[in-house]
C-alpha cells in the first residue's frame, strides 16, 4: 500500500477484500447510500437483496463457503430485520460482518428527532441490541481510531468465526484515515506455544490414545470454524479408526475413506457406546445435532477438541488453539502403539420396494433415492423440516458442501443462504480462474418444504437476476409437516396458504427463453421423479430449475414418523 | 366469570378477547404449538402469516384500527424476525402484544443445549433484546403470579399504546391459574384529579387562549394513542379556529369541517408562523413528520398536549392525562372570550394539464388524481417512498383511515399492515353485526412502490386466503426512487431485480374464477388510469385487485423532485 491515507469506507472495504470477500449483500437506505458509493471503487460487487433478513442469510451462506461474508443495512429498520440471520450466524459460527449505515454524527450529537428512530433522540438502542448477537462491535465516529477499531472487530470475527457489527455514521465514509495498517494483514494471531500446558495435554491425550482398545473419531461442525479440517483429515488417515460425522459436520470430511461411516445416527449407538475412546473434533452437542441427545457420546470416553480447549474426563486444558495443537499431536503420534479395529457396521438401510406408478413418499426413501442426482462439487441445502432430516440419508458426492439444520433452525434460511453460497462459489471460481485446471462451476441444489419456502421466497428473484445455477426441489405437503410430527398433526395452525409454486420463477423474473430460461416440473410418482432426475435440462441446464414434489401432509422420514406415532398414542391414551 | 381457575393460556387469550382482539397473527413453532391449541377454544381466530416480520406488521395494522393487536411467535428465530415490526409499533405507538412460546421450564432450568439457542445454555438473550422495543415484559413461569403479570403488561400496553412482550414456556399454557381477576377488566387507570397542578395548568392555558389574537390548532398522530379524538373534535368545533393535521395525524380528524385545512405542508408555513398560538395535540415532531423540521411550529407559540404533560413556553405541567384534562379545558372554555379568525388560505395547487395519451406521472398529479377512486370508509395505506409523500395530496373521504410513513419508515410495512387492518375492519363489522344499520364492509387500498413490495410480497397470499377485499396500486419504476431522490440517482444499488408483478396474485393462490377471482391491470397512460378507475370490477369487486402503474425511475412528487434537483446541482458543482 503506497497511499498514506484513504477514505474510511475504502479502508473497511479493502480489508474485506483482503479477507476474501468479493461480493457484499444488502439493501440501500438513506443512512448508507454514501457508504455504498465506495463499494465498486473498492473492487467489491454489490448484490442487492429483497429484504434484510434475506441479505443476512445470504451473507451467512457466503461466509460458510468463502470464509467471510458481509452485508450492509441501514440504521434501525434494516439492521433489526437482519437480526435473526445474524443470531443464526452466531449460533452456528458463520463469520459475518454486518455493516450498518447510521445517521450523521451531527444528527446524533444533537439528539435530533429523525426517521428510523423511536423519536426520542436516542441513537444507541440498536447498538445495544446488536451486541447480543455479535462477538465484537465498533461505532466509527472518529477517523483516528477507526482503522484499529475495524482491524480489531474483523480479527474477532475471524477468531470466533462469529458475526460482528460495524456502525458507520452517514458522514463518515468519506473522511480520510491512515492507510498504514493496510500493509499488515488482519488474521488470527499466531499461537504462542503454551510450554506449561501443551506437554501435559499431549501426554494426557497420547496416554488415552495408546491405552484405548476400541477408539473412534467423531467430526462435528465447529471444526470448520476452527480451521482444522486438514488436520482432521490427516488424523483420520493416520489412525484409520472408525470415524463418523454429525449432521453439522457432514460435508466437511471426505466420506470416501474406508474408515469413514457417514452420519452418526442412533443405529450406530451400540457401536459408539462400545468404544472406550471417542475423540470429537469441534463438538456442538445441541439436541438438534444429536438426535435429541441420543447420539451425544458418553462423557467418560470423550476427548473434546474445541477452539482453544481440550476437555477429557473432567480436565480442561486451556489456551491450546486447536490447529497447532492437532499438528503437534499428529507429529507425536506413534501409530505402532495405537489399536486398530474395523468392526462390521450396519450399512444403509435397504430401501423399500416401489413401483413407478406409486406416489413418491419420504417413508419409502425419497431422500436417499434423490441422492443419485447429486454431482461432484454440488452445494446442497436441505431446509429445516423434513428435508433436513432426510439429508442424513443422502449419499454425498466428492467435494460437495451440505447445509442442513443444526441448532438455530430458522425456517426460510436455506433459499437466501443458497444465493449466498452460490455467489461465493462463483467468486471462488473467478479467483482461481486460469490458475486452476480443475476448477469447475458448482451447482446449487435446494431441498425445501412449502412452509419454509414461503418465508423468504422472494430471494429467488435475486438468484434469477444473478444468473446462478440453482435447482429447487420444493415439497408441497400443505404446511409445516415437521410441526405436525411434533404436535398438533391436524391442527389449523400447521396449515399454510396454498400457492402455485411453479409460477414463482416466472413471477420472479426468470427469462422465458434462451440459455437461462427457467424450467419447472411436477413430481407425483416415482416415474415422474425418474423422468425429472434424468432430464438433461435438470442435470446440465443453466439458471433456475424447479420441481414441485407432491407429498402427503403426514409423510416424513422415519425418525419423525416415530414422533408422530408417539403423538397418536398419547392422544389415544388421553381419549381412553 | 364463574370458574375459579382456567389454564394460563385461556386466561391470557380471554384478556385479549376482552380488550377487543378477535384475530391473532403469527406462525407456529415447536415451542408455541401447545399454546396455539388454546387459540380457538378462547374464541380467537388464528391468521397464519408467511413469516414473523409480516405477522408483526399485520398485528400493528390491526392494532391501529381495532385498538389492540397481537401475534404469537416462537423463541429466538421467530421473535427476532418480528423485532423490526415491534420496534416500529414502539416508534409510532401501536399497541401490540407479542406472545412468544419459549422452551419448557425444565429445559431452561437445566440450561440444556437445545435448538433455537446459541447452544450456550443461556435462555435470557432474547428477553433482553425484546426489552429494548417494548414498554413492559413478562416471563410466565409461575402459575401464581402469571395473572397479575399478564394484567400488568396489558395495562402498560394500553397506557403507553406501545408493544409489550409475554414469554410463555412450552409447559405453561396448561397449568391452571386463578380466574378471579378476569371479572375485573384491564383498562387505563382512572385519572386522579391533580388538585395541585390542574388548576394552575388550566389557568395558564386559558390565559394563553384568551390572550391570543391569531390562534390555530394542529392535530398530530399521537392523539390516536392518547384516546383524545373525541375531545379534539369537540375543541375544533367549539373554537372554530383554523386547524391543520400532520401527515401522522391525517385521517384522525374529519376534514369536512370548514375550519379544517388538511395537512400542514410548507406552503402554509407563513400562515402558521403568523399565528401567536399553536395548540398541538399528540405532537410527534420527527423530521419525517415535519417536512425535515420545516413545519415544526415555532416553539414560543406552541402548547403541546402530550400523554400526561402540557408543555408551553418552557413550563411543563406533569401528571395530567390528556383526555380528562382536555375535558376540563373544554368545559372551562368561554368561547365569548376567544379570538375568531378565518384567514384566506391557499387551496390545493392546480393540477397540470394532461392528455389521455400522455404517460402517467407523479409530477403531473398522479396522486391527487387517484383520490377520486377512494370511497367512504376506505382504509388507505401509502407505503414509505413516493406514495407516502403523494398521500399528502389526497382528498380523503369520510371515515377513511390513512396509513402513511411517519417516523419508523420501514419499507415493506404496508402490505402486511393492510392485511392486519383489513382483518381488523372485518372483525369490527362482525362485532357490530346486526346492531348497526350503517356498518358497511370497508375496502383496503394499498399504494406501494416496486422496491417496497419486494420486501414482504408473500403476505399477499394471506390476504388472498383470508378473502379480503384489497386493491393494490403498484408503482413500477425500477427500484428505490425515494433513495434516488436523496442520493445516488443513477447508482446500481438503487436498482432491484425485475419481477412480473401482475403474476403475483395467481402465484400466491388467488382463485382464477368465481367472485373472488383476481383482476389485474397495467396502467401507462392517463387514459389507462381512467379506464381502471372506472372499471366496475376495480370499484366494486371482491378479493384482490392489482394495477401495475409504470413510471419513470426519477418521477416523484414535487418535494422529492426538489431534492433531486439539489443533487444534480451539487454534482454539477463538483464537476465544475
Q: Name the residue among B105, B357, B131, B91 with its Cα closest to residue B222.
A: B91
Q: Which of A121-125, A366-370, B426-430, B554-558 has the weakest average pLDDT?
A: B554-558
A19 class by beta-carbon count within 10 Å (0-12 exposed, 13-18 middle, 19+ buried): buried
Residue A196's pLDDT is 87
Nearest-angstrom CA–CA distance, A290 and A246? 7
**A455 lies within 8 A of chain B by CB:** yes
Distance from CA of A98 to the nearest CA of B (A): 16
Per the annotation, binding residues of B for Mg(2+) are 450, 477, 479
In this predicted complex, what is the ipTM? 0.96
Residue of A nearest to B134 (CA): A118
Strand partners, A218: A244, A280
Q: Which of A56-65, A73-82, A191-200 has the weakest average pLDDT?
A: A191-200
Nearest-angstrom CA–CA distance, B52 and A87? 15
User: For B83, which of A80, A112, A119 is closest by C-beta distance?
Assistant: A80
Q: Which three cell numbers stand for residue B362?
A: 407523479
CB contact under 8 A, B496 and A284: no
Tell me which residues of chain A, numbers 351 to 410, contact chain B at a CB-CB cutoff of 8 Å: 405, 407-410
**A465 lies within 8 A of chain B by CB:** yes
* Residues whose CB is less than 8 angstroms from the CB of residue B113 and which lie 6 or more positions away in sequence, other chains included: A285, A286, A287, A407, B119, B120, B121
Q: Are B416 and B57 in contact (CB under 8 A)?
A: yes
Residue A69's pLDDT is 98
**A57 lies within 8 A of chain B by CB:** no
* Residues whose CB is less than 8 angstroms from the CB of residue A169 and which lie 6 or more positions away in sequence, other chains included: A101, A102, A103, A104, A105, A108, A140, A141
CB contact under 8 A, A410 and B486: no
So what's the architecture of A197-332 in CATH? 3-Layer(aba) Sandwich (3.40)
Residue B244's pLDDT is 96
Q: Are B230 and B354 in contact (CB under 8 A)?
A: no
Chain A residues near residue B404 by CB distance under 8 angstroms: none
Q: Is A10 helix (H, G, I), strand (E, B) or coil?
A: helix
CB contact under 8 A, B28 and A483: yes
**A37 lies within 8 A of chain B by CB:** yes
pTM of the complete model: 0.97
CB contact under 8 A, B493 and A288: no
Q: Is A120 helix (H, G, I), strand (E, B) or coil?
A: coil
Nearest-angstrom CA–CA distance, B22 and B20? 6
Query: Do the domains B197-332 and B5-183 match in fold?
Result: yes
Please give the radius of gyration of chain A, using alpha carbons only, rounded to the nearest integer: 25
Residue of A nearest to B482 (CA): A30
Distance from CA of A186 to the nearest CA of B (A): 26
Q: Is B383 helix (H, G, I), strand (E, B) or coil?
A: coil
Q: Name the residue among B168, B74, B76 with its Cα closest to residue B122.
A: B76
Nearest-angstrom CA–CA distance, B81 and B71? 12
**A512 lies within 8 A of chain B by CB:** no
So what's the architecture of B362-567 in CATH? 3-Layer(aba) Sandwich (3.40)
CB contact under 8 A, A455 and B51: yes
Given a cut of 50, is residue A556 above it in pLDDT? yes
CB contact under 8 A, B80 and A87: yes
- Helices B198-211 and B322-332: crossing angle, nearest 10°? 50
Beta-carbon pairs below 8 A across chains A and B: 245
How far out from the chain centre does Cα A475 lie?
21
CB contact under 8 A, A508 and B497: yes
Q: What is the pLDDT of residues A443-461, one digit of tens each?
A: 999 999 999 999 999 999 9
Chain B residues near residue A510 by CB distance under 8 angstroms: none
Chain B residues near residue A500 by CB distance under 8 angstroms: 506-509
Residue A435's pLDDT is 64
Nearest-angstrom CA–CA distance, B146 and B149? 5
Q: Are B389 and B560 in contact (CB under 8 A)?
A: yes
Mark residue A298 as left, alpha or beta (left: phi above 0; alpha: psi -120 to 50; beta: remaining). beta
Q: Looking at chain A, how many residues does it have?
A: 576
Which helix H or strand E contains A533, and what residues bound it? helix A526-533
Per the annotation, binding residues of A are 450, 477, 479
Residue of A nearest to B90 (CA): A118
Low-confidence ranges of chain B (pLDDT < 70): 1-3, 434-438
Q: Are B78 and B100 in contact (CB under 8 A)?
A: yes
Phi, psi of A568, rounded to the nearest 5 degrees: -60, -45
Tell me which residues of chain B, numbers 262 to 321, contact chain A at a CB-CB cutoff of 8 Å: 284-288
Q: Which three cell numbers stand for residue B79?
A: 421473535
- Under CATH, what is the fold of the domain B5-183? Rossmann fold (3.40.50)
Exposure string of A355-382, with b = 16+ CB inside 10 Å and e = fewer, is eeeeebbbeebbbbbbbebbbebbbbbb
User: For B114, which of A88, A287, A405 is closest by C-beta distance?
Assistant: A287
Nearest-angstrom CA–CA distance, B3 and B176? 11
Exposure string of A301-340, with b = 16+ CB inside 10 Å and e = fewer, is bbbbbbbebbbbeeeebeebbbbbbbebbeeebeeeebee
Chain B residues near residue A507 by CB distance under 8 angstroms: 499-501, 503-504, 507
Computed over every residue of chain A, the mean pLDDT equals 95
CB contact under 8 A, A408 and B115: yes
Residue A269's pLDDT is 95
Q: What is the pLDDT of residues B413-458, one digit of tens each?
A: 999 999 999 999 999 999 887 666 667 899 999 999 999 999 999 9
CB contact under 8 A, B409 and A115: yes
CB contact under 8 A, A28 and B504: no
Q: Side by side, which strands form the sheet with B519-523?
A: B401-403, B379-382, B444-449, B470-476, B544-550, B519-523
First to last CA, chain A: 78
Per the annotation, binding residues of A for Mg(2+) are 450, 477, 479
Residue B437's pLDDT is 62
Residue A1's pLDDT is 44
Q: Are A427 and A421 in contact (CB under 8 A)?
A: no
Nearest-angstrom CA–CA distance, A551 and A484? 14
Mean pLDDT, residues A56-82 taken together: 98
Residue of B nearest to A509 (CA): B499
Q: Are B88 and B63 in contact (CB under 8 A)?
A: no
Domain segments of chain A as ranges? 5-183, 197-332, 362-567
Q: Are B26 and B48 in contact (CB under 8 A)?
A: yes
Phi, psi of B310, rounded to the nearest 5 degrees: -115, 125
CB contact under 8 A, A28 and B483: yes
Q: Which three cell numbers stand for residue A343?
A: 468392526
Cell numbers 375543541: residue: B235
CB contact under 8 A, B113 and A285: yes
Chain B residues near residue A113 by CB distance under 8 angstroms: 285-287, 407
CB contact under 8 A, B503 and A506: yes
CB contact under 8 A, A458 and B455: yes
Amino acid at each position: 500500500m503506497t497511499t498514506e491515507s484513504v477514505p474510511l469506507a475504502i479502508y473497511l472495504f479493502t480489508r474485506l477484500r483482503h479477507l476474501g470477500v468479493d461480493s457484499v449483500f444488502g439493501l440501500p437506505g438513506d443512512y448508507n447510500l454514501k457508504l455504498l458509493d465506495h463499494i465498486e471503487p473498492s473492487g467489491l460487487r454489490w448484490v442487492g437483496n429483497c429484504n434484510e433478513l434475506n441479505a443476512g442469510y445470504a451473507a451467512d451462506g457466503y461466509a460458510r463457503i468463502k470464509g467471510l461474508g458481509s452485508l450492509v443495512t441501514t440504521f434501525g429498520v434494516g439492521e433489526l430485520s437482519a437480526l435473526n440471520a445474524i443470531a443464526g450466524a452466531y449460533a452456528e459460527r458463520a463469520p459475518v460482518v454486518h455493516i450498518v449505515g447510521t445517521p450523521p454524527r451531527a444528527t446524533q450529537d444533537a439528539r435530533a428527532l429523525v426517521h428510523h428512530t423511536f423519536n426520542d433522540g436516542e441513537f444507541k438502542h440498536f447498538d445495544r441490541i446488536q451486541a447480543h448477537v455479535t462477538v465484537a462491535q465498533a461505532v466509527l465516529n472518529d477517523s483516528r481510531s477507526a482503522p484499529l477499531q475495524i482491524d480489531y472487530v474483523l480479527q474477532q470475527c475471524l477468531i470466533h468465526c462469529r458475526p460482528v457489527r460495524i456502525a458507520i455514521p452517514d458522514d463518515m465514509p468519506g473522511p480520510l484515515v491512515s492507510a498504514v495498517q493496510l500493509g499488515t494483514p488482519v488474521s488470527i494471531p499466531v499461537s504462542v506455544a503454551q510450554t506449561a500446558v501443551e506437554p501435559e495435554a499431549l501426554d494426557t491425550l497420547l496416554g488415552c490414545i495408546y491405552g484405548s482398545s476400541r477408539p473412534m473419531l467423531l467430526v462435528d461442525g465447529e471444526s470448520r470454524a476452527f480451521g482444522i479440517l486438514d488436520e482432521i483429515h490427516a488424523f483420520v488417515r493416520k489412525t484409520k479408526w472408525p470415524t463418523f460425522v454429525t449432521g453439522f459436520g457432514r460435508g466437511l470430511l471426505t466420506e470416501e475413506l474406508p474408515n469413514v461411516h457417514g452420519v452418526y445416527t442412533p443405529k450406530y449407538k451400540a457401536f459408539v457406546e462400545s468404544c472406550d475412546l471417542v475423540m470429537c473434533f469441534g463438538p456442538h452437542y445441541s439436541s438438534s445435532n444429536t438426535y435429541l441427545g441420543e447420539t451425544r457420546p458418553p462423557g467418560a470416553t470423550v476427548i473434546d477438541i474445541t477452539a482453544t480447549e481440550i476437555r477429557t474426563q473432567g480436565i480442561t486444558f486451556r489456551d491450546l488453539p486447536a490447529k497447532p495443537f492437532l499438528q503437534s499431536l499428529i507429529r507425536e503420534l506413534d501409530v505402532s502403539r495405537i489399536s486398530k479395529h474395523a468392526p462390521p457396521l450396519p450399512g444403509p438401510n435397504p430401501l423399500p420396494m416401489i413401483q413407478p406408478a406409486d406416489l413418491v413418499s419420504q417413508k419409502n426413501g425419497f431422500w436417499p433415492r434423490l441422492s443419485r442426482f447429486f454431482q461432484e462439487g454440488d452445494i446442497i441445502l436441505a431446509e429445516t423440516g423434513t428435508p433436513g432430516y432426510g439429508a442424513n440419508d443422502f449419499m454425498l458426492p466428492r467435494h460437495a458442501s451440505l447445509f442442513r439444520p443444526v441448532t438455530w433452525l430458522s425456517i426460510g434460511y436455506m433459499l437466501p443462504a443458497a444465493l449466498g453460497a452460490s455467489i461465493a462459489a462463483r467468486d471462488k471460481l473467478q479467483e482461481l480462474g486460469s490458475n486452476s485446471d480443475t476448477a469447475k462451476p458448482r451447482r446449487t441444489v435446494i431441498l425445501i418444504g412449502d412452509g419454509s419456502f414461503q418465508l423468504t421466497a422472494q430471494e429467488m428473484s435475486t438468484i434469477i437476476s444473478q444468473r446462478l445455477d440453482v435447482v429447487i426441489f420444493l415439497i408441497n405437503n400443505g404446511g409445516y409437516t415437521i410441526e405436525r410430527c411434533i404436535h398438533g398433526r391436524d391442527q389449523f395452525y400447521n396449515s399454510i396458504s396454498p400457492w402455485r409454486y411453479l409460477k414463482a420463477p416466472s413471477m420472479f423474473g426468470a427469462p422465458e427463453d434462451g440459455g437461462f430460461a427457467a424450467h419447472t416440473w411436477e413430481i407425483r410418482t416415482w416415474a415422474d421423479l425418474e423422468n425429472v432426475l434424468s432430464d438433461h435440462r435438470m442435470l446440465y441446464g443453466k439458471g433456475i430449475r424447479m420441481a414441485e414434489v407432491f407429498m402427503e401432509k403426514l409423510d416424513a422420514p422415519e425418525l419423525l414418523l416415530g414422533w408422530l406415532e408417539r403423538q397418536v398414542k398419547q392422544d389415544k391414551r388421553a381419549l381412553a
